[in-house]
Structure 1
Amino acid sequence: MLLKAELLEQIKAGKVDLIFRRWSRPTVKAGGTLKTKVGLLAIKAITDMAPEDVTAAEAQRAGFADVTAFRKWLDTMKPGHLFQRIEVGYLGDA
């Protein structure tokens, strides 16, 4: 799973703890870790859901101003039949 540097910094700072992804097949598993440029991330939980079920609070936890900003971002993502809500946390230097 590729994450932009700005998002990684927000996760490291504790400002973001959710990531949303739309894909053909998952590339991370709950309970796993992800090595990134800023350090190691914990993949705490993964939930299948529909994009229209994303709440304002979840959009903000993912770093978006609101649901409208989230949907605008989602429209730029490549298609996929699986949409997931991924809870993450920063573990430290890798």
Structure 2
Amino acid sequence: MIFTAAHLEGIRSGAVTLAFRRWDRPRVRAGSSQRTAVGVIAFDVVEEIAPSEVTDADAEAAGFPSAEKMLAFVDKKAHGPILYRIALRYGGADPRQALRENAELSVAELEKLRRRLARMDANGAWTEATLRLIGERPAVVSTELAEAMSMERQPFKIRVRRLKELGLTESLEVGYRLSPRGRRVLETLFADGAGA
């Protein structure tokens, strides 16, 4: 789900506890979660609701001044005919944040990362070159980084996202940078360009 910055802050503070969306089918399910810029959002209940059932109190819990304004917003962003009410809450910080900061890696952890990166490189080595590029060119727009790798932007971003899942990179407002963990991996596993 896409949220405005104001709604994300409201979810983090606990002021926003509901969201409404028009979909053809549920796009999230109860018990699932989503990582966002402010942390993890947990979805507790996803249910169909008639527009006439939405109250002003519901709208306020979704960060809107009235049901009318909330429904107008939802209708403008509709991706289907069915209105859903989603009960949600802040689920805590993004676990990748703590992972990124952890540069004190044991021999076993480094070996596990080495094997994981080797699997990612199985159809053509790219992890070391991507980490080195981001390390050398932090805060550079992804289009330029992709060009430097002779790639289209979207496939490049997918690769960076895979490295981010391992806590090796982090997104900036523009571009990326290596995390402390990513710098440690680059210095240790790829020392002298040895490869994973």
Same fold (TM > 0.5): yes
Tell me, in whole angstroms, the C-alpha distance in 2 between the residues paired with 1:71 and 1:26. Answer: 17
Partner of 1:88: 88
Tell me, in whole angstroms, the C-alpha distance in 2 between the residues paired with 1:69 and 1:83. Answer: 15
Deviation at 1:44, TM superposition (A): 0.6
Deviation at 1:67, TM superposition (A): 1.7
Partner of 1:5: 5
> Over residues 2-26 of structure 1, what are the superposed CA-to-partner deviations in whole Å (9 max), with x where a residue is unaligned?
1111110110011100000001222
**1:37 corresponds to which letter in structure 2?**
A
Between Structure 1 and Structure 2, the one with more strand by share is 1
Partner of 2:19: 19
> Over residues 37-63 of structure 1, what are the superposed CA-to-partner deviations in whole Å (9 max), with x where a residue is unaligned?
110011011111112210111111111
Partner of 2:41: 41
Tell me, in whole angstroms, the C-alpha distance in 2 between the residues paired with 1:59 and 1:81. Answer: 19
Q: Considering only aligned residues, what root-mean-square deviation do their CA atoms show, in Å?
A: 1.3
Partner of 2:63: 63
Tell me, in whole angstroms, the C-alpha distance in 2 between the residues paired with 1:36 and 1:53. Answer: 29
Partner of 1:31: 31
Deviation at 1:79, TM superposition (A): 4.8
Partner of 1:50: 50
- The runs of 5 or more residues in structure 2 that have no matched partner are 95-196
The runs of at least 4 consecutive aligned structure 1 residues that moved more than 3 Å come to none
Between Structure 1 and Structure 2, the one with more helix by share is 2
Task: Give yes or no for contact 2:12–2:90 (8 Å, CA) kept in 1.
Answer: yes
Deviation at 1:36, TM superposition (A): 0.8
Q: Figure out how many residues of one structure are paired with residues of the other and give that number.
A: 94
Tell me, in whole angstroms, the C-alpha distance in 1 between the residues paired with 2:68 and 2:83. Answer: 17
